[in-house]
Amino acid sequence: MDSDSARGIGRRRVLRWGGLTAAGGAAAGAQLWDAPPGHSAPAPAGGADGIPPDTRPGGAYDRYVAELAAEDRFSGVVMLSYRGRTVLSRSYGMADKEKGIRNHEGVAFNLSSAGKPFGAVAVLQLAQEGRLTLSDTVGAHLTGFATEIAENVTIHHLLSGTSGLNTPEEDRERVFQSREEVREFYGRWARQAKAVAPPGTPTHHAGAEVGIPALIVEAVTGMTYWDYVEENVFWRCGMTGTGFFTRPQWLTDEHLAHSYMRQADGSRVDAVRNLDKGSPDPNQLGKNPGRSFIDPPGDGGFATAPDLVRFAHALGDGTLLDRPYAELFTGPKIPHPPQGGGLAGRSASADASFGAYMTPVGFVKGQRVNGRAGVNPGSVASWNIHAYTGWVGVVLGNYDDVPFVEILQQEEAAIIG
């Protein structure tokens, strides 16, 4: 599966605190969730229109990202949206240096782990339709798993990251040649999972917790995971620039940003065109997103910034899930222990971080923030939803040596203060 760490970025910090920026393209008047019944939404930090100065063009966040781009420390798109209105949209750098194609709002970037929540939405759609229940065990839908997994691990355990499972290391040198080869490989890989702790035990990002729900979606629907999510998530939302694209498409489609990996000699290499090049990070040796013919079921994909805003609004307006299931999707479930440094290392006692269904949730200065981040060699991606105030944020980049955590901190500071 994809990588969740990159040079200089703490893995747990990125996983537990997704990105914070996104852009328009959502229909005017589309609503995110309001404050819970009996509560009022926190007052926006801005003026009469609720827009803080630091989020506007020329504001602190805009200036910060522009400076990074001028120093060649960021390439990609950052966007901020407030209640369906685009507040800030900036694009920097090249989507394909060889062809001279610049990044812009219509360019889709590799999502890495930021695409994992799409699988949770797919499972909840099937639960909403009565085609499965979250208390179903793995064995209720799939064969080939060890008895202790088939009979004891439930869909809820998988989605909430409490399966107690461990998955063996992948073959990082393999280059896949077809969608079918990818499906077959990762189906076998998921079935090699082992129970290393009782179900209900928080698990450190086990690959099986992503792969098994995707297999269940396929078993219940009779469709490939990729086809089901494209039809029932992306298309429903009007996410026309988003999809699970193949390596041949990545090489030829001008709307897909190439990922540029920083090498030990200081140069950057195109991860898609250079399959023999791996990440210089010792923890990522041999890992190259261009090796996989298509992202594994349950993971990754490509998206544009406006499309991720559409996704955020579709979660809140009933397009994807009825409100009870939408709240189940994003509701806090498993408390995260305190983490040193980064966004999770704040000293403010009011801050807390929890696991939801593939979407970490944080409480920051009275606001609930749901989102997800992902990092692959040559790319970073992040989206966050401020459910009570209507802000959505996205960061999409095609460099891996960016100060990613700092970008997210600057974005949060601009929105929340």
Per-residue model confidence (pLDDT) at position 291:
74
Question: Which of 202, 224, 246 finishes a domain?
Answer: 224
For residue 289, what pLDDT band results from cuts at 50, 70 and 90? Answer: low
14-28, 249-263, 309-323, range with the lowest pLDDT: 14-28
Q: Are 378 and 271 in contact (CB under 8 A)?
A: yes
210 inside domain = yes
CB atoms within 10 A of CB 318: 12
Per-residue model confidence (pLDDT) at position 342:
38
φ/ψ of 165, rounded to 5, equals -95, 155
Kindly write down the DSSP assignment for every residue of 201-241, as one continuous string: S--S--THHHHHHHHHHHHHHSS-HHHHHIIIIIHHHT-TT
Counting other chains too, the contacts that 180-188 makes at CB distance below 8 Å and 24 or more residues apart are 181/293, 182/292, 182/293, 182/294, 182/296, 182/297, 183/224, 183/297, 186/1, 186/211, 186/296, 186/297, 187/211, 187/215
47 inside domain = yes
Closest CA to 239 of 228, 230, 250: 230
- The reported pTM is 0.88
198 and 275 within one domain: no
389 and 293 within one domain: yes
Per-residue model confidence (pLDDT) at position 348:
36
78-82, 198-202, 205-209, 231-235, range with the lowest pLDDT: 205-209
Q: Which residue has the tokens 């970025």?
A: 9
105 and 181 within one domain: no
Residue 127 CB burial class (10 angstroms; 0-12, 13-18, ≥19): buried
Q: How far apart are CA 336 and CA 237, in angstroms?
A: 31
Per-residue model confidence (pLDDT) at position 63:
98
149-158, 291-300, 344-353, range with the lowest pLDDT: 344-353
153 and 89 within one domain: no
State mean pLDDT over 39-63: 78
Question: Which of 194, 224, 254 finishes a domain?
Answer: 224
Per-residue model confidence (pLDDT) at position 118:
98
3 inside domain = no
321 and 244 within one domain: yes
Domains in the chain: how many in total?
2
pLDDT exceeds 90 at position 203? no
401 and 269 within one domain: yes
State mean pLDDT over 33-57: 67
Per-residue model confidence (pLDDT) at position 345:
39
1 inside domain = no
Q: Which residue has the tokens 């006692």?
A: 349
Which H or E run includes 392?
strand 391-397
Q: Which residue has the tokens 């839908």?
A: 141
Q: How far apart are CA 115 and CA 224, in angstroms?
A: 16
State mean pLDDT over 374-379: 92
231 inside domain = no
Q: How far apart are CA 30 and CA 243, in angstroms?
A: 23
Tokens in use for 288?
Answer: 């190259």
152 and 68 within one domain: no
274 and 309 within one domain: yes
217 inside domain = yes
289 and 183 within one domain: no
Alpha helices by DSSP H, listed for 101-140, are: 117-128
Q: State how far the alpha carbon of 180 is from the alpha carbons of 48, 193, 296, 353, in Å.
A: 54, 21, 11, 38
Q: What is the pLDDT of residues 217-227, one digit of tens each?
A: 999 999 999 99
18 inside domain = yes
Question: Which of 157, 189, 224 finishes a domain?
Answer: 224
- Rg (alpha carbons) of the chain, rounded to whole number: 20
pLDDT exceeds 60 at position 377? yes
128 and 266 within one domain: no
Sign of CA dihedral 365, 371, 375, 378: negative
Determine the structural domain holding residue 304 and report its residue range: 11-114+236-416
Per-residue model confidence (pLDDT) at position 236:
97
Per-residue model confidence (pLDDT) at position 288:
61
73 and 26 within one domain: yes
The CATH number of residue 62's host domain is: 3.40.710.10
For residue 387, what pLDDT band results from cuts at 50, 70 and 90? Answer: confident
Helix axes 117-128, 208-221, angle to 10 degrees: 40
Better-scored residue on pLDDT, 161 or 26: 161
4 inside domain = no
348 and 256 within one domain: yes
pLDDT exceeds 80 at position 346? no
Q: What is the pLDDT of residues 104-123, one digit of tens each?
A: 999 999 999 999 999 999 99
